[in-house]
Structure 1
């Protein structure tokens, strides 16, 4: 986690971290095989250089703009699944071929890798499929079947 004071405001940060005069930036490097053997200082230095490229008006690699007030690097080897080329077609859609059976999870077909973000997006896509099928059943005049699918 890297804490920078480049943007003011709560921004959805938990109250235990909230400070109206600072902002928090949390980053996840995944997969992080090449970073595990690096020192915390090397990781912070590389991170600041990359952030300076992405946000040149707010962040400078030398910290002449935003300043790191504190940081904590957590290294968890093999914490995420490694993607392997050619496996994308194996990810199932949220709407399964079985009528009324839906899937949600980071392993399903969506734009992110297996991650919390992927799981959230998958849940949204799954809910969208359920609602679409419900509305289709209602449009066909199958109200009883539509209501049964929502139980």
Structure 2
């Protein structure tokens, strides 16, 4: 973040951004409840750096953003429903965070999907060019 937003740079501080999904049970809770639960979970994950009572790392400021249905719910066996970037329809490709890639619905997933989509297009075009070159060599005059 300090590379893109110089005003956030502080060598003695860190910034942490989290996404809760699915968030049905959290949407109606207060910001304080969400921060308290978050700190408890972070204390379990990073016990040397964080404690729920903030006796170690301290929160200087926070902002809770609640956006219902902004991230799809990941449930068991839903991965096969995500389409590949190369569709069964010739010349029709898909890109987006919902397609098959290693991330959930996110900006990172959308970017990776776009890259995979571009790779699929290039791969098909290279294969077609290769086949065209092979068939051109077999033409006898």
TM bucket (normalised to shorter chain) is: 0.7 to 0.9
Report the Cα offset of residue 77 of structure 1.
Answer: 2.3
Partner of 1:117: 108
RMSD: 2.6
Write the distance in 2 (CA, Å) between the matches of 1:66 and 1:135. 53
Q: Secondary structure at the match of 1:53?
A: helix
Match of 1:127 in 2: 118
Higher relative contact order (CA 8 A, sep 6+): 1
The 1:38/1:13 distance shift into structure 2, 3 A limit, reads: farther
* 1:33 matched residue in structure 2: 24
More helix by share: 2
Unaligned runs of 5+ in 1: 1-8, 143-151
Unaligned runs of 5+ in 2: 134-141
Report the number of matched residues.
134
Q: Which runs of 4+ in 1 moved over 6 A?
A: none
Cα deviation, residue 65, structure 1? 1.9
Bigger Cα Rg: 2
The structure richer in strand per residue is: 1
Deviation at 1:48, TM superposition (A): 0.9
* TM-score relative to the length of structure 2: 0.76
